[in-house]
Chain A
Amino acid sequence: MPPTAFTSIGLGHAYGKVAALHSLDLDVPRGRIGLVGANGAGKSTLIKTLLGIIEQTTGTATVLDMDNRRQTISIRSSVGYMPEGPCLPLDQTAADFMVYSAGTAGLPGSAARQRASDVLTLVGLAEERFRYIGDFSTGMKQRTKLAQAIVHDPELVFLDEPTAGLDPSGREEMLDLIGRLGTFGIDVVLSSHVLRDIERTCDWVVMLDEGTLLYSGHIGSTGGDGAVRVEVNGSPDSLVKQLEAADAGVTRDASRLSVTYRHGDVFDLIREAASSTDTSIRRLDDGASSLEDMFLTKGSLR
């Protein structure tokens, strides 16, 4: 059997009478895994349940092939966790907190100091490591949170909304950093409500909606058919005629078009057709946006 990041059978959790997870059956391979869902979908609850931070009310689960209830301590020795909310001591320097984090993960003192220095350099905080965390910007705090999650070189790291609160450039840098974790031998579970972040970073996706599993599978198999979605302002009639004249395949739903083209670059064709017909394009998406479509489709089928 291939190694799994986590599995579950009938996994459920309820906060009092409010059910947050409904009987999830999951079998997720190791790699870069995206956990997608709107706020309140149960992403954080699933992570906390897998780590044994909160107890499941039904079902069983494994993380790295270890039972999450009976082998909780072993699991925690092998994984890292970056919580969504504030979790940093404001009156400590980044370096001291990193040494502390490594120590609480079981690393001996000298190794903890070495790892702290290495990891802060890795996340781009080498210069700021002796500054107090309370003086950090949001982006620096997010990097510190990521650093503490990997300071003990875990096999698998759970990142809960790591791009929350970041500006566009900070977001890009964070996603680049997360993308590199795989090359370090660290598997990633990335929780986000931003589908683009998941599409860009992950190769497997678990979709949740109100605690229910919508889909779990390879991102490549989520329906990307090579078609380009076009949405225009006003009537698309002239654009459709122009595209069909160029032997493109066009399916139409009101002002939305789905365009395929076998003889060249479909984007070039659409640009030229729009230009020659004086059509204003409101939205242009390639097949990779199918994750969003799929999320909407699966959600509406429930």
Chain B
Amino acid sequence: MTDSQGAVYDLGYVPYDGERLGRSGARRTVFWDGIRRVLGIRRKARRKVLPWALIVIAVIPAVVVVGIGFFVPGEITDAVGVAQSHANFFVLGGTVAMIFTALSAPELLVPDRREGVLSILSSRPLTSTDYLMARLASLVAIVASFLLLPQVVLYVGLAGTHPDGLFRGLVQDAGDLPKILIVTAIYVVAFVPLGFVVASLSNRKAVATIVYIALMIGLTSLAEAIVQNNVFTGGRWVALVAPINTSDAANNFVFGTENPESLLAAANIHPWYGIVALAGFGFVGIAFSVYRYRRLM
């Protein structure tokens, strides 16, 4: 037994006189909130299902390939080569990444507008461009990580199957790392800006997701139809508006692998033009979003 009876103190209101990070702190907060929001972290369980299911779907094929490599040494690397494996996984992962982008971009922009949170954010030390760029950075980071994750599993996993050990394998395939980063950047530029534009215009997440996927597939189909049927003179340049085809062609170009079905090849357009077109469309899309948000915040 002690004599102490304990005491409850009402500390009342405690003023804050600590550090204030201002605009940079506000931008960082919006960025990290975007990452958590997309992944459903600190949200209800149902918000976590889709993003994490897509991450698993993207990684499983890489795990399977690496598993085959372990059980049947040389099966993968001898048959298609490591570079071709990375290129193939970008094509496969790219499709899943497109769906991931379709779900993530609206999650970042639509609720803040629809629930009125923008009215609070517009009273914070934050410009509309700050907010939008922080959200864009979240989307870029998360989509890039999504694309990189299976590539890292593949790179490390295949290196682990090297007869002279993991380290030897990592060194031997290290030349693929810059290519992996470049192609990741190309896919991000191909997928993110359009998703951002659509999300900045729609007030419903589901509508934004559907419109984005429809546009991505629709643009590809339209470009294929025009290029392959030679609909009008100079129509081959329409191939540049198909982001899926363009990014796939750029992927094969960077890894130096074959892609006989490439639309850019059919249109006789060098992949460099495709990369420049993607960057141009991306810039215009982001500029449009910035313009739109200047009117909202």
Asked if B116 and A104 make an inter-chain contact with CB atoms under 8 angstroms apart, the answer reads: no
Give A118's nearest chain B residue, CB to CB: B14
Tell me, yes or no, whether A153 is within 8 Å of chain B by CB. yes
Please choose the segment from A107-115, A234-242, A278-286 that sits at the chain B interface, where 4 or more of its residues have CB less than 8 A away: A107-115
Chain A neighbourhood of B119, CB < 8 A? 53, 83, 85, 87
Q: Mark A172-183, 1 if CB is under 8 A from B, else 0.
A: 000000001001
Please judge, given known A-B contacts A87-B116, A92-B43, A96-B42, whether A80 and B18 are in contact too, CB under 8 Å: no
Asked if B126 and A87 make an inter-chain contact with CB atoms under 8 angstroms apart, the answer reads: no
**In the docked arrangement, what's the CA distance between A74 and B33, Å?**
23
Report the 5 A-B pairs with minimum CB-CB distance, sorted nearest first. Answer: A103-B29, A81-B123, A153-B16, A87-B116, A184-B13
- The listed residue (B33, B42, B122) touching A53 by CB distance below 8 A is B122
Please judge, given known A-B contacts A73-B23, A83-B116, whether A89 and B124 are in contact too, CB under 8 Å: no
Chain A neighbourhood of B29, CB < 8 A? 100, 103-104, 112
Q: For this complex, into which size category does the number of interface residues on chain B fall?
A: 35 or more
Please judge, given known A-B contacts A77-B22, A91-B43, A122-B13, whether A51 and B111 are in contact too, CB under 8 Å: no
Tell me, yes or no, whether A294 is within 8 Å of chain B by CB. no
**In the docked arrangement, what's the CA distance between A96 and B33, Å?**
10
Asked if A85 and B22 make an inter-chain contact with CB atoms under 8 angstroms apart, the answer reads: no
Tell me, yes or no, whether B1 is within 8 Å of chain A by CB. no
Interface residues of B in 114-142 (CB under 8 A from A): 115-117, 119-127
Tell me, yes or no, whether B30 is within 8 Å of chain A by CB. yes
- Total of A-B residue pairs, C-beta within 8 Å: 109
Give B28's nearest chain A residue, CB to CB: A103
Asked if A105 and B26 make an inter-chain contact with CB atoms under 8 angstroms apart, the answer reads: yes
Interface centre among A74, A77, A118 (most CB of B within 10 A): A77
**In the docked arrangement, what's the CA distance between A79 and B44, Å?**
32
**In the docked arrangement, what's the CA distance between A79 and B42, Å?**
28
Asked if B117 and A87 make an inter-chain contact with CB atoms under 8 angstroms apart, the answer reads: yes
Chain B neighbourhood of A13, CB < 8 A? none
**In the docked arrangement, what's the CA distance between A76 and B22, Å?**
9
Q: Tell me the count of chain A residues lying within 8 A, CB to CB, of chain B.
A: 42
Asked if B15 and A107 make an inter-chain contact with CB atoms under 8 angstroms apart, the answer reads: no
**In the docked arrangement, what's the CA distance between A195 and B255, Å?**
72
Please judge, given known A-B contacts A107-B25, A111-B19, whether A89 and B115 are in contact too, CB under 8 Å: yes
Asked if B120 and A87 make an inter-chain contact with CB atoms under 8 angstroms apart, the answer reads: yes
CB of A159, distance to nearest CB on chain B (Å): 12
**In the docked arrangement, what's the CA distance between A89 and B21, Å?**
24
Give the dominant DSSP class at A's interface.
mixed
Give A101's nearest chain B residue, CB to CB: B120
Chain A neighbourhood of B23, CB < 8 A? 73, 106
Chain B residues within CB distance 8 Å of chain A: 13-16, 18-23, 25-26, 28-30, 33, 42-44, 47, 111-112, 115-117, 119-127, 297
Please judge, given known A-B contacts A87-B119, A93-B42, whether A105 and B125 are in contact too, CB under 8 Å: yes
Asked if A77 and B43 make an inter-chain contact with CB atoms under 8 angstroms apart, the answer reads: no
Chain B neighbourhood of A115, CB < 8 A? 16
Give B25's nearest chain A residue, CB to CB: A106
The contact sample of 27 A-B pairs, CB cut-off 8 A, is A53-B119, A53-B123, A73-B125, A76-B125, A77-B125, A79-B123, A85-B119, A87-B117, A88-B115, A89-B115, A90-B115, A100-B29, A101-B120, A103-B25, A104-B120, A104-B121, A105-B125, A106-B21, A106-B22, A106-B125, A107-B16, A108-B21, A111-B19, A115-B16, A132-B44, A152-B16, A183-B13
Q: Mark A49-86, 1 if CB is under 8 A from B, else 0.
A: 00101000000000000000000011011011101011
**In the docked arrangement, what's the CA distance between A81 and B22, Å?**
16
CB of B121, distance to nearest CB on chain A (Å): 6
Asked if A88 and B117 make an inter-chain contact with CB atoms under 8 angstroms apart, the answer reads: yes
Asked if B16 and A91 make an inter-chain contact with CB atoms under 8 angstroms apart, the answer reads: no
Asked if B21 and A107 make an inter-chain contact with CB atoms under 8 angstroms apart, the answer reads: yes
> Beyond A104-B30, A105-B20, A108-B21: 17 further Cβ-contacts under 8 Å?
A73-B22, A77-B125, A87-B117, A88-B115, A89-B112, A92-B43, A100-B29, A103-B28, A104-B126, A105-B125, A106-B20, A107-B19, A107-B21, A108-B25, A111-B18, A132-B44, A183-B13
